[in-house]
Amino acid sequence: MATLLFDADDTLWENNIYFERALADFISFLEHKELSAAEVRIIIDDVERENISLNGYGLKSFTKALVAAFEKLSVEPITEAMHTTITGFAQRIAEEPIRLIDGVPATLASLCERHALYVVTKGDPDEQHRKVKSSGIEHYFRAIEVLPEKTAAAYRFLLESRHLSGDDIWMIGNSPKSDVNPALEAGLNSAFIPHQTTWVLEEQEINRPRPTQRLLELRKFEDLLLHF
């Protein structure tokens, strides 16, 4: 029996597409006179990167990043009406229903009969637990773990706290930066399932596994059934 640790956002359900939509609306609202949309996006990414170090992940953090980006990019001070509009872009994300990735329910139903399944995600704990409960797939997992950040140290601590050991533990997800590379560094195996709209801040060159480790690069979620 393998132990399978699943990322949540953009692995089990759609997530970044809603943030990309909010960013497109924000950039259109900003209507910068000197910078192109692509140049504005680079600045927003930098603001988000800095904001994460202060406020972590999740909608509250994203909202603060949008406000900070507007204050940095706009020549005019932010008004109350502008603030309401900007925060509204983020609030609409919270109103989106959970949309599972194709094949997730049937694949999990099969996998849980043979393996131990856990959700290991990061972000705001209340927000992530709400998503799991709304997803309709919570019952497939033995536990839900929400980490402030996914690092090799965080994975090692998780394994120790959950008393998980052995050479058949896998981290499964769409992010090279959070799911694949730190898991490999921590000594786990990993299954990489790319998503076409993975967040730019999660992109990273995938490291090579050690000789004792295994790395799978799958085309779609259902392909897990070919290996587990």
pLDDT digits (tens, 9 = 90+) for 82-113: 899 999 999 999 899 999 999 999 999 999 99
Residue 31 has what pLDDT?
A: 84
Instruction: Tell me the mean pLDDT in the region 181-187.
Output: 97
**Architecture in CATH of 16-94:** Orthogonal Bundle (1.10)
Provide, rounded to the nearest whole percent, the portion of the chain with pLDDT above 70: 100
Please tell me the predicted confidence (pLDDT) of residue 22.
94
Sequence spans of domains, the chain: 3-14+100-226, 16-94
Domains 3-14+100-226 and 16-94 share a fold: no
Instruction: Lay out the sheet containing 169-173: strands in order across.
Output: 143-147, 116-122, 3-6, 169-173, 189-192, 215-217
Q: Say yes or no to pLDDT of 75 above 90.
A: no
Q: Where are the beta strands (DSSP E) in the chain?
A: 3-6, 116-122, 143-147, 169-173, 189-192, 215-217
pLDDT, residue 103, reads 97
Mean pLDDT, rounded, for 153-166: 94
* Rounded mean pLDDT, 27-37: 89
The mean pLDDT of the chain is: 94
CB atoms within 10 A of CB 23: 23
- What is the model's pLDDT at position 192? 97
> Per-residue pLDDT for 77 more than 90?
no
Average pLDDT over every residue of 215-228: 97
**CATH class of the domain whose range is 3-14+100-226:** alpha beta
pLDDT, average across residues 198-218 = 93
Q: Residue 158 pLDDT > 90, yes or no?
A: yes
Q: First vs last Cα of the chain: how many Å apart? A: 9
Phi and psi torsions of 178, nearest 5°: -105, -30
Dihedral sign of CA atoms 79, 57, 119, 176 in order: positive
pLDDT band, very low/low/confident/very high, at 141 (cuts 50, 70, 90): very high
